[in-house]
Amino acid sequence: MKMMQSSNAALLRRILHLSSMFNRSLSSLPDSAILNDDIDNQVLVEGKSWSRIAILNRPSVLNALNTTLLARLNKLYKCWEDDSDIGFVMMKGSGRAFCAGGDIVSLCHLINKGEFEACKEFFRTLYSFAYLLGTYMKPHVALLNGITMGGGAGVSIPGTFRVATEKTIFATPETLIGFYPDVGASFYLSRLPGRLGEYLGLTGAKLNGAEMIACGLATHYSLSTRLPIIEEQLRNLVTNDPSVIAATLEKYCEVVYPDNNSIFQRIETLNECFGHDTVEEIVHALENEVSRTNDAWCISTLNRLKEASPLCLKVSLRSIREGRFQTLDQCLAREYHMSLQGISRDFCEGVRARVVDKDMAPKWDPPTLEQVSKDMVDQYFSPLSEFEPGLELPTNHREAYT
């Protein structure tokens, strides 16, 4: 999550490391893509014939989302949707990531300064764009080359087509920073096969491109070296027909399957353990598996759960389970309430421990699952006060995504 302006860019370059794999590189911009000001530069635009490409352009922070970037995306996408000369839209990231999620460091700065209205604006803008994309009237192609995590998934998965590569790394790691999977995650995670959504949402475990194809998070797979060819072929299309776009993607993409080390090789154990009603029961099931088999996957999964915020584990499980019976707009509206109710609890402590100080020793409140009461979880799902407006989505004009 986020919101930082250019004056804080140097600080962000030093501290926004989501993990050791998140090596960054500042990619030089093509001369033709340079726009007039920094606001426009956060989303670059390329266009030819019947298509437009939105390029997320904050490579030094892995294209982390802030309010300025999201507001520009909303404006561009609404304009393109109304333009009869544009048949379809694409999105990609600059540098090594598609999008690592929200600008969590900037968001914590806002919280610590008491700028809660700015926090609300961020969430409203983010969730509104996710709904716009999920109900978009034109075909959409997201090129998920590189890190695609948290909010980065939220601004791509609701679209028509998602192309993964061998460089794609998907995750919803919010519980590890004292938050919960949002931006529609309770919608799409709850619709994954079996209990995969609960597993991903609680542990923050990663999927590669082939695994995204296997579970439906991605629609197509391509080697990253072939993406320029795919982009060029798509740009040459004069169409608004999804089947024509699909045929082009299928012509240049590949068929892949998860390897023998994939989580899909353990899907029965995963379903059994993560199918329980409570986080405590999930942990107990994993512990039983460890005592019976000493299985390395069960051990590592238990360790990940122990690293996460106990409160956010319970909140996340309930959110995913509720999302299974809700439409996209209902999930987003609920997640907006949840974000305003719970943003100041474990979130800033988790960001401090994992991203800023990087001591990996967050002091969660409360520190154990047993100390997380039902009332604490209920608070996230309780209605906002009568003076606090909820998330207003244009459901009367745009069909709800089910």
Per-residue pLDDT tens digits for 26-80: 233 333 333 334 777 999 999 878 999 999 999 999 999 999 999 999 999 999 9
Judge if pTM exceeds 0.85.
yes
What percent of the chain has a predicted confidence (pLDDT) above 70? Answer: 90
Domain count for the chain? 1
- 77 is in which domain, residue-wise? 6-381
Residue among 174, 270, 264, 275 nearest 215 (CA): 264
Whether 214 is covered by a domain: the verdict is: yes
Ranges assigned E (strand) in 167-215:
169-171, 207-208
Active-site annotation holds for 322: no
Whether 391 is covered by a domain: the verdict is: no
Active-site annotation holds for 272: no
Active-site annotation holds for 38: no
CB 242 within 8 A of CB 138: no
Whether 401 is covered by a domain: the verdict is: no
Whether 396 is covered by a domain: the verdict is: no
Kind and range of the H or E element at 12?
Answer: helix 9-15
Active-site annotation holds for 134: no
Whether 347 is covered by a domain: the verdict is: yes
Q: What is the pLDDT of residues 301-330, one digit of tens each?
A: 999 999 999 999 999 999 999 999 999 999
The catalytic position among 87, 93, 95, 102 is 102
35: left (phi over 0), alpha (psi -120 to 50) or beta: beta
Whether 113 is covered by a domain: the verdict is: yes
What percent of the chain has a predicted confidence (pLDDT) above 90? Answer: 84
CATH number at residue 264: 3.90.226.10
The catalytic position among 93, 159, 174, 211 is 174
Residue among 307, 296, 319, 283 nearest 362 (CA): 307
Amino acid present at 78 = K
Whether 387 is covered by a domain: the verdict is: no
143: β partners: 163
Token pair belonging to 54: 């939105």
Quote the pLDDT of residue 345: 73
**How far, rounded to the nearest angstrom, does the alpha carbon of residue 285 sit from its chain's CA centroid?**
28
The catalytic position among 95, 101, 159, 182 is 182
Whether 397 is covered by a domain: the verdict is: no
The catalytic position among 150, 151, 152, 184 is 151
Quick one: average pLDDT of 356-370?
95
Q: What is the pLDDT of residues 174-229, one digit of tens each?
A: 999 999 999 999 999 999 999 999 999 999 999 999 999 999 999 999 999 999 99
Give the CA radius of gyration of the chain. 20
**How far, rounded to the nearest angstrom, does the alpha carbon of residue 241 sit from its chain's CA centroid?**
27
